[in-house]
Structure 1
Amino acid sequence: MEEDELINLHFCLGVAIRNAFGLHKSDSELLAAFGVGIHPDDANGLIIKALWKRLQNGEE
């Protein structure tokens, strides 16, 4: 998958990440780690992109 196609994962993997890690909760420590005012959908996008980069580098 190309980087510009990652947006296609928003409604499947992105929602699964948001729900599994509680990013939609106001007291989410993971969401807070991204900084003040980040939206949960933006946070799960950053997680997906980081995972994609690791996979491109052959990391597990």
Structure 2
Amino acid sequence: MATTSKITRPFAVRLQDIEPFRVVEVLDRAKQLAAEGRDIVHLEAGSQILVRRPP
């Protein structure tokens, strides 16, 4: 069963409608504050390095 969709606006234009990811805003602000010499404790979202105990 084939479906087709009609794109009414070009892809690049539609990208402008995407809301920014809030974590990126926090990270950008943390980088700005660090560049100004502030001490920053980074607790942003991302991959955690977990140490697992052997079973």
TM-score (norm 1): 0.31
- Give the structure with the higher percent helix: 1
Q: Which has the higher contact order (CA 8 A, sep 6+)?
A: 1
In the superposition, the TM-score normalised over structure 2's length comes to: 0.34
Larger radius of gyration: 2
